[in-house]
A and B are shown apart, each in its own frame.
Chain A
Amino acid sequence: MLEMKVPYLTAKQLDQGTAELLRDYGRWRGEPVQPPIDVDEIAEGYLGLTLEVGDLKVVLGLDDVLGATWFDERRVRIDQSLEDKEARFAFTVAHEIGHWQLHRPLYEMEKVTLRMFPADAGAKPAAAIVCRAIERKAPAEWQADQFAARLLMPAAAVRAAVEEVAGSTLPVWEGLDANRRAGRLDPRLRAFADDVLEAGTFVNVSNEAMCYRLFDLQLVRDQANLQATLL
């Protein structure tokens, strides 16, 4: 397991990274990519990674692992506890794809340094990235989450779905930010996210993930915030 220091990435760089991957994957498929984004196919088919589902608690000896990527073996393993949770499974695969796209080049560079201090002969390849459920998000994990959200919910597709649901007037609600600060997702936002999920056929995305994507894309706004902007 490697502790990886990653450089800061802007939202624009993350947008470009996911857009590029979706475009190239679309070329490989021979058709433009539309939600639901088949992240299994991106991982296995387009990127040529081996996708496995297994008991990561046994494999890694850790209690709360959702996914792990072995860069050297081109292998992604998802914990079997997610098998029947479509949205969480897809997000975890998308997250691991994020590591592969964003952090593998850094790992390759680190390996050059590590070769100066080789591991014991015959040692099993270590998981380069292990993603746990209850850990404070390290920068690499945060970036992979952001990448996953963009991959599963491309901005243009979300905007189109929002327009279908709300027309050209974006929802503005009072108390939206206060709820978010209190760690709650506003019930009006949740209901709106459900409509967007359905309109955009985001069948492998959770309501919670869509709520945060709507915030990030500023497609829902707080009344107070809007007034401040107008002033």
Chain B
Amino acid sequence: MERFGARVRQRRQECRLGLRDTARRAGISATFLSRVETDAEKALPSEEVIRKLAEILDDDFDTLMRLAGRIPSEVKDYVKADPGMPAFLRRAKAENIPAEKLMALLDKAKDKT
């Protein structure tokens, strides 16, 4: 499975961005970023830092969050706010319905309204 640190380093190299430059722009220390890239750091960056990294590295925020094992706070808040969401998600999981299919269903429902 792809690792968060490896992905960040790869994108950094593709974007020709230096370790210290990237760290400065993301508001973290180069030591921390270096540890993240080499999997030496147990505590992966916060959502705010991952958002900045996605912007700096021109990468997909959701993908970086997934690789970091994090769920975006607005998704968490949405699930928390609607009492029906846990049951809905559990059912989607039990019936093995992938996100793509759920999206298609949402689009279909939107067309009907």
Contact = CB atoms under 8 A, between A and B. Distances in A.
A binds B: yes
Interface of A: 38, 40-41, 44-45, 50-54, 80, 83, 89
Given A44-B13, A83-B29, A54 B34 contact: yes
A165 to B, nearest CB: 29
Contacts of A51: 18-19, 34
Given A50-B9, A53-B31, 12 more contacts: A41-B16, A45-B18, A51-B18, A51-B34, A53-B19, A53-B30, A53-B33, A54-B31, A54-B38, A54-B40, A83-B30, A83-B31
Interface in B1-39: 9, 13, 16, 18-21, 29-31, 33-35, 37-38
Nearest to A55: B31
Nearest to A39: B18
Contacts of A41: 16, 18
A73 to B, nearest CB: 11
A52 B34 contact: yes
A40 to B, nearest CB: 4
Nearest to B18: A40
B16 A45 contact: yes
A-B pairs with lowest CB-CB distance, top 3: A40-B18, A80-B31, A53-B34
